[in-house]
Chain A
Amino acid sequence: MSLAKLPQFLGSVNPLLKIVLSIALTACAFALKSVGANLLLVSVLLVLTFVSVRVERKSVVGVGVFLLIFTGLTGTLSGDWGYAGLGAARLLVLILPALLLPATTAPGDLVRAFQAVRLPPFLVLSLMLTWRFLPVIQQEAQRIIEANLLRGVDLARRPGLWFSGLFTPLIFRIVSYADDVTVGLETRGYDPDSPRSTSQPLRWRPGDTLFALGAAALLFAVGGLEWTA
């Protein structure tokens, strides 16, 4: 799903708090069996998604079609459509935080979060590079697909050409990126074994307290609905 960023309040929330909440929501998705509790979570997450990020119409349609296929298949196989619908709601509780967290967390914030939990510097470097280059490599893949289209090759309809037409040139680009990034870091004197310093260490702000209280209230409400169901 492509998400264009908007001015957002979630972007200013402490990234560690968002990570903890995301993990809690994943646990909820596995634990909750009540329709009401799942729907409450899905509603809040949908509101947060549409308030925090600009979601393209085609992405909404894509996710809708995917959920329909998922519900249809599980409904057909299990023979219980209510059960299949509940499965789709739980899937949304899993998917939406996964979309919200990357879309509202800058790479720098994520690095500060990982530094705050004292991860080894080499791991912070790997995480930072992965987070930073994921969109770049996706753009590269898109460019390669478009270049193929200009030559009259529609890769979407010709999976037989994926390897030679997409993966091989993409990997060559990735290897070139790896060389360039290494040279760039070395010329800046970066040492993966030395501890990193930061000019803006992660701080807990009053807004984070409010967000944490709101999240706790939501989880209590969800727990209450599950308990009474």
Chain B
Amino acid sequence: MEKSMEQRWQLKDYVFAALMTVGLAVTAKVTQPFASAIPLPGATTIAWAPFAAIFLTLGMARLRRSGAVALIAGVLALILGIISWTISAFLVAALLAAELVGLVSGGFAGKTTRLVANMVFFAATCLTGWFIGVTFLRGTPVGDLAAQWLTQPWVLVPAAMVSALAGAVGWWLGEQIVFQLQRAGKLDVAR
């Protein structure tokens, strides 16, 4: 059953999105302590993406319509914004980029749209994180290192591409779980 853009969000949608947000937060908590110790461009995104994309894919597959990524990642941005507004900044930039994909494709019902949205989301996360690092973290080891590398596209472009690929790996894993949930009768999704 397709969900139209006009159809109202229901309680079950909000609850499902909130639990996907929890999934994103748990994956961040698991991966970030290790990844943030590596002062290399995109390291945190590349470590986070394969796991976080599973939950994003699942959320998109279940909610299907535009706004799904905003509801999942936006709540995470709001919660993490209490702790650090820089995290919120790159999450909001990334969710806007992914929502743009959803808007152009008329929602997230298709697998290809979900793949592209995931890749765009994580590439945007990497690029925005880098921009924030350069702009606001000048004077810190991470910020200065980012500024030093920003002028070198042979580092920036591959970092964004690897982030997008890591998102694609997460999408593939997410689709496997969507399939398993569908077979178990736990998820009504369009494939």
Contact = CB atoms under 8 A, between A and B. Distances in A.
Interface of A: 19, 22-23, 26, 30, 33, 62, 66, 69-70, 73-74, 77-78, 83-84, 86-87, 90, 94, 97-98, 101, 122-123, 125-127, 129-131, 133-134, 137-138, 141, 163, 167-168, 170-172, 174-179, 181-182, 185-186, 190-192
B131 interface: no
B82 A22 contact: yes
B4 interface: no
Contacts of A74: 39, 141-142, 145
Interface residues of B, number: 52
B22 A137 contact: yes
Interface in B75-115: 75-76, 78-79, 81-86
B177 A134 contact: no
Contacts of A23: 81-82, 85
Q: Interface majority SS on A: helix, strand, loop or mixed? A: helix
A148 to B, nearest CB: 15
B21 A190 contact: no
B33 A123 contact: no
B19 A69 contact: no
Given A23-B85, A86-B140, A126-B17, 8 more contacts: A26-B86, A62-B33, A73-B39, A77-B39, A125-B14, A130-B21, A178-B16, A179-B186
A112 B50 CA distance: 35
B177 A19 contact: no
B141 A137 contact: no
A173 to B, nearest CB: 10
5 contacts: A125-B15, A129-B18, A138-B29, A192-B9, A192-B11
Most buried by A among B17, B22, B54: B22
A137 B23 contact: yes
Interface of B: 9, 11-12, 14-23, 25-26, 29, 33, 36-39, 51, 54-55, 58, 71, 75-76, 78-79, 81-86, 136-137, 139-142, 144-145, 173, 176-177, 180-181, 184, 186-187
Contact of A172 (B21, B76, B83, B186): B186
A175 B92 CA distance: 25
Contacts of B82: 19, 22-23, 101
Given A87-B142, A168-B177, A125 B22 contact: no
B141 A78 contact: yes
Contacts of B58: 171
A73 B37 contact: yes
A84 B142 CA distance: 10
Contact of A94 (B9, B22, B84): B84
Nearest to A181: B15
B39 A98 contact: no
Given A101-B82, A172-B184, A177-B19, A30 B136 contact: yes
Nearest to B33: A66
A43 B82 CA distance: 21
Nearest to B17: A126
A133 B51 CA distance: 18
A131 B142 CA distance: 30
Contacts of A134: 22, 25-26
